[in-house]
């Protein structure tokens, strides 16, 4: 039977991937009462009619492209970690395979790093807007940070699982 740490690691990494991809896809990285901006589009609310008008970011700034790239790669690394963890849970012969365990651990930590770096690039380049009070970092940004933190927790669970299995 698979260890509880492996199953917890798979669940935590699944949640990390989910939060990361939702944060990446949604458009609340920067927000005000009437404007919200994401990595892919920006939206504004018409205060009179209450309707929201959105437009794709046709030529995003380089920092937006970099944030996109790091978050996408972070999500892909999370999928890789989840696949390796599930292989250890499901396939009996993989439970004692040190390379599978190390791969899952490494991918979990790399996922966390890439998601956090992607968010940090965005936060660093928009710090002036946030510090002046014009915008706030939105919930999409927060989801990516939470996904990165959970990925690090998934990595720690994987390390503990290897230690308990004496790999």
Instruction: Print pLDDT tens along the chain (167 aa).
Output: 778 999 999 999 999 999 999 999 999 999 988 899 999 999 998 877 778 889 999 999 999 999 999 999 999 999 999 999 999 999 888 888 899 999 999 999 999 999 999 999 999 999 988 888 888 999 999 999 999 999 999 999 999 998 988 86
φ and ψ at residue 57, rounded to 5 degrees: -80, 100
Whole-angstrom distance, CA of residue 123 vs CA of residue 162? 35
Express each pLDDT in 58-106 by its tens digit.
Answer: 999 999 999 999 999 999 999 999 999 999 999 888 888 899 999 999 9
Query: Which residue, among 138, 102, 167, has the nearest Cα to 22 in the 3D structure?
Result: 138
Rounded to 5°, angle at Cα 94 from 92 and 97: 135
Instruction: For residue 56, give the 3-state DSSP assignment.
Output: strand
- Which residues does 49 contact at the CB level (< 8 Å), separation at least 6? none
Q: Determine which helix (DSSP H) or strand (DSSP E) holds 35, and give its type and residue range.
A: strand 35-37
> How many CA atoms are closer than 13 Å to the CA of 33, on its beta-carbon side?
3
Rounded to 5°, angle at Cα 13 from 12 and 14: 90
């Amino acid at each position: 039977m698979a260890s509880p740490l492996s199953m917890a690691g798979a669940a935590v990494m699944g949640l990390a991937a989910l939060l990361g991809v939702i944060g990446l896809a949604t458009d609340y990285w920067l927000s005000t009462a009437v404007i919200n901006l994401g990595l892919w589009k920006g939206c504004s609310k018409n205060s009179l009619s209450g309707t929201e008008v959105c437009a794709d970011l046709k030529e995003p700034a380089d920092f937006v492209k970099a944030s996109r790239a790091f978050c996408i790669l972070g999500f892909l690394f999370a999928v890789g970690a989840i696949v390796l963890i599930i292989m250890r849970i499901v396939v009996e012969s993989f439970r004692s395979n040190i390379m599978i365990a190390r791969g899952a651990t490494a991918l979990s930590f790399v996922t966390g790093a890439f998601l956090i770096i992607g968010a940090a690039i965005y936060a660093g380049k928009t710090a002036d807007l946030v510090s002046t009070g014009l915008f706030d970092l939105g919930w999409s940004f927060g989801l990516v940070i939470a996904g990165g933190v959970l990925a690090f927790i998934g990595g720690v669970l994987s390390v503990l699982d290897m230690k308990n299995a004496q790999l």
